């Protein structure tokens, strides 16, 4: 009797050591990853090899209320095709699911409810199934078949299995939280992408004039390809908006759009900004740093004011564009980056090439697809649409609704806008600040730059007759009468009428169109 007791104690001691070894292995697996599907197979392997608990099975509760067998150790995965499921109360696993408690079978063949759907369990050996719980709620079942049934240690094995099931439950809880957060982040990312695409897409570039329609068509065509684009136009015409529209309507929209103003940095810093630098490359370089080219890998690099870079730097930039490879400052390793180049300039690059200030080979490398943006004075018919678009933007910033009077639009259409759309936006924002009720009338329109230069009134392009009419509260109908009077006085010769009104030919043509003046032929 004493020997039997000693033998049982020795068996229990050996079992506890095996369980301790298995517990350590399981804890290591669970600490390595939060991917539930990745760890369960490894946990089942450890239970088999360290604790003699073979044929390990893990099933997970599905949204439809069934238990889906996700993993079985030591079994051909083909046995899980089609997927094996258990309903509540069906078989031993269904019983554990229904009662949410551990089941111990001393012999599989002695339990009528044991279904053995996969045909993998030895009917002469025991079987243990424990619930996997998350916050007290059943989320799955862990089942094993001990490789020996000749001892009285099934209760010890069952308690150990419950311990492992609890650890799996905690891992499952963390895994579900991570997956939920990942889904939320992905949904937020997709929402932001849609918002950014809307904000920086074609909707952000306003214009219905013939010149702008040609620009839109060019942008739509070139956005589909990786072709290098050179955007040309005066300062303030919206070159960056066009670069945004090209990127966010291209296959590279999921990549980064990295921007760099080449005129804002001296040459020594420009090289480091574009190509990056290695640790110790210069004083203060305490660590390596990626340049804009590396940051834009898989996306687009927008080089604004490309005409301002020095001839020495032009040679370095040309090498990158030709070979698609560069080296960090202080480095010797060639780095490749998949980058689309969009450049922009307000300079006359052809003249710069003729004078030797800009490399001809770099010009041709950049000028693959030129897009020329017209100045605002050449598309005055777009001013109403641009104004309404800008007022929505300014109104959002000021948290109120803004509107503009027709007579104020007429005043804006008679200005030559040397600062283009940027100057127009500043003018409207200034008027919005001065407006107490959110309505912008003609008297709020100011052109301080022109006023300082000429010493004249805020609206320098208006005639004395127009000034008198404005002070008396001129509206669109009076404006129409004024233009018709000038046309009649000029014998309906637009160029002559424009001189009478101190307008350009383009401006009076725009007024005739917007005021719907019927032209008379003499």
Radius of gyration of the chain (CA): 38
DSSP secondary structure, 113-127, as one string: T---TT--S-TTS-E
**375-457 classified as CATH 1.10.8.60:** yes
Structure tokens at 57: 């099975």
Here the contacts of 345-351 (C-beta below 8 Å, separation 24 or greater) are: 345/230, 345/231, 345/232, 345/305, 345/306, 345/307, 345/308, 346/232, 346/233, 346/234, 346/235, 346/239, 346/305, 346/307, 347/307, 347/308, 349/232, 349/307
Q: State the average pLDDT over residues 174-194.
A: 78
Model pLDDT, residue 57: 92
Model pLDDT, residue 181: 85
Which CATH superfamily hosts domain 12-178? GAF domain (3.30.450.40)
Provide the mean pLDDT of the chain: 84
Number of Cβ atoms within 10 Å of the Cβ of 78: 6
Residues 68, 60: contact at Cβ < 8 Å?
A: yes
Question: Between the CA atoms of 257, 262, 266 and 267, what dihedral angle is there, to the nearest 10 degrees?
Answer: 90
Q: State the average pLDDT over residues 290-296.
A: 90
Residue 467 reports pLDDT greater than 60 = no
516 vs 85 pLDDT, higher one: 85
Question: Integer distance in angstroms from the first to the last C-alpha of the chain?
Answer: 134
Model confidence at 354, pLDDT cuts 50, 70, 90, reads: very high
Number of Cβ atoms within 10 Å of the Cβ of 258: 20
What is the DSSP pairing of strand 300-304 with strand 340-345? parallel
Q: State whether residue 129 is helix, strand or coil.
A: strand
Per DSSP, 65 falls in state S
pLDDT tens-digit series, residues 9-21: 787 888 888 888 8
Q: State the average pLDDT over residues 214-235.
A: 93
Model confidence at 267, pLDDT cuts 50, 70, 90, reads: confident
Q: Which of 34-43, 251-260, 455-464, 486-495 has the lowest mean pLDDT?
A: 455-464
Model pLDDT, residue 461: 41
215 vs 332 pLDDT, higher one: 215
pLDDT tens-digit series, residues 296-328: 999 999 999 999 998 888 998 998 888 888 888
Q: State the average pLDDT over residues 25-40.
A: 80
Model pLDDT, residue 446: 85
Share above pLDDT 90 across residues of the chain, in percent, rounded to a whole number: 37
Helix axes 239-248, 154-200, angle to 10 degrees: 140
Structure tokens at 318: 């040309």
User: Could you give phi then psi for residue 344, rounded to 5 degrees?
Assistant: -145, 150
Q: Which uninterrupted H or E stretch holds 29? A: helix 2-32
pLDDT tens-digit series, residues 452-464: 443 333 444 443 3
Structure tokens at 247: 């990127």
pTM: 0.57
Identify the architecture of domain 462-522 in CATH. Orthogonal Bundle (1.10)
Residue 204 reports pLDDT greater than 70 = no
pLDDT tens-digit series, residues 390-426: 999 999 999 999 999 988 998 898 888 999 999 999 9
**201-374 classified as CATH 1.20.1250.20:** no
Residue 149 reports pLDDT greater than 70 = no
Residues 197, 254: contact at Cβ < 8 Å?
A: no
Residue 243 reports pLDDT greater than 80 = yes
Instruction: Report d(CA 213, CA 211) in Å as an integer.
Output: 6
Model pLDDT, residue 450: 54
pLDDT tens-digit series, residues 47-69: 999 888 988 999 988 888 899 98
Model pLDDT, residue 426: 93
Model confidence at 522, pLDDT cuts 50, 70, 90, reads: very low
Task: State the residue for tokens 């890998």.
Answer: 297
Q: State the average pLDDT over residues 331-360.
A: 91
Model confidence at 2, pLDDT cuts 50, 70, 90, reads: low
Residue 353 reports pLDDT greater than 90 = yes
Q: Structural domain boundaries of the chain?
A: 12-178, 201-374, 375-457, 462-522
DSSP secondary structure, 448-502, as one string: HHHHHHH---SSTT--HHHHHHHHTT--HHHHHHHHHHHHHHTTT-HHHHHHHTT
Residue 344 reports pLDDT greater than 80 = yes
Question: Between the CA atoms of 390, 515, 372 and 308, what dihedral angle is there, to the nearest 10 degrees?
Answer: -60
34 vs 449 pLDDT, higher one: 34
Q: Which of 89-103, 196-210, 492-506 has the lowest mean pLDDT?
A: 196-210
């Amino acid at each position: 009797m004493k020997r039997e007791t000693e033998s049982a104690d020795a068996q229990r001691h050996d079992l506890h050591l095996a369980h301790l070894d298995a517990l350590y292995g399981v804890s290591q697996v669970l600490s390595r990853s939060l991917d539930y599907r990745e760890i369960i197979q490894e946990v089942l392997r450890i239970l088999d090899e360290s604790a003699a608990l073979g044929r390990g099975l893990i099933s997970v509760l599905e949204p439809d209320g069934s238990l889906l067998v996700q993993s079985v150790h030591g079994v051909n995965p083909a046995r899980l095709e089609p997927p094996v499921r258990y309903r509540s109360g069906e078989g031993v696993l269904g019983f554990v699911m229904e009662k949410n408690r551990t089941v111990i079978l001393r012999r599989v063949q002695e339990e009528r409810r044991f279904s053995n759907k996969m045909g993998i369990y030895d009917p002469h050996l025991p079987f243990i199934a424990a619930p996997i719980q998350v916050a007290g709620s059943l989320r799955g079942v862990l089942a094993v078949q001990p490789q020996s049934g000749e001892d009285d240690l099934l209760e010890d094995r069952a308690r150990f299995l419950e311990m492992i099931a609890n650890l799996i439950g905690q891992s499952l809880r963390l895994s579900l939280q991570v997956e939920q957060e990942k889904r939320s982040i992905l949904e937020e990312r997709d929402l932001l992408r849609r918002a950014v695409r809307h904000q920086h897409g074609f909707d952000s570039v306003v214009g219905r004039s013939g010149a702008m329609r040609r620009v839109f068509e060019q942008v739509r065509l070139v956005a589909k390809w990786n072709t290098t684009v050179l955007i040309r136009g005066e300062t303030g015409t919206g070159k960056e908006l066009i670069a945004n529209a090209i990127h966010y309507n291209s296959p590279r929209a999921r990549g980064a759009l990295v921007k760099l103003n080449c005129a804002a940095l001296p040459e020594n810093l420009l090289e480091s900004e574009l190509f990056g630098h290695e640790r110790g490359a210069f004083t203060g370089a305490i660590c390596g740093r990626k340049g804009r080219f590396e940051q834009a890998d898989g996306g687009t690099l927008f080089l604004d004011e490309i005409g301002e870079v020095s001839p020495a730097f032009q040679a370095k930039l040309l090498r990158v564009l030709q070979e698609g490879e560069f080296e960090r400052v202080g480095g010797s390793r060639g780095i490749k980056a998949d980058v689309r180049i969009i450049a922009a300039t307000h300079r006359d690059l052809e003249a710069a090439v003729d004078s030797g200030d800009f490399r001809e080979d770099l010009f041709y490398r950049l000028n693959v697809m030129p897009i020329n943006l017209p100045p605002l004075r050449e598309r005055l018919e777009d001013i109403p649409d641009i104004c309404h678009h800008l007022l929505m933007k300014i109104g959002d910033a000021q948290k109120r609704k803004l509107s503009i009077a027709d007579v104020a639009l007429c005043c804006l259409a008679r200005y030559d806008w040397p600062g283009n759309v940027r100057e127009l936006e500043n003018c409207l924002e200034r008027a919005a600040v001065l407006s107490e009720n959110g309505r912008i009338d003609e008297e709020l329109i100011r052109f301080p730059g022109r006023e300082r230069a000429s010493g004249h009134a805020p609206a320098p392009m208006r005639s004395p007759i127009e000034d008198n009419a404005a002070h008396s509260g001129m509206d669109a109908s009076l404006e129409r009468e004024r233009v018709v009077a000038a046309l009649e006085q000029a014998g309906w010769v637009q160029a002559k009428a424009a001189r009478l009104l101190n307008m350009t030919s383009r401006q009076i043509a725009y007024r005739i169109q917007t005021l719907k003046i019927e032209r008379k032929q003499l």
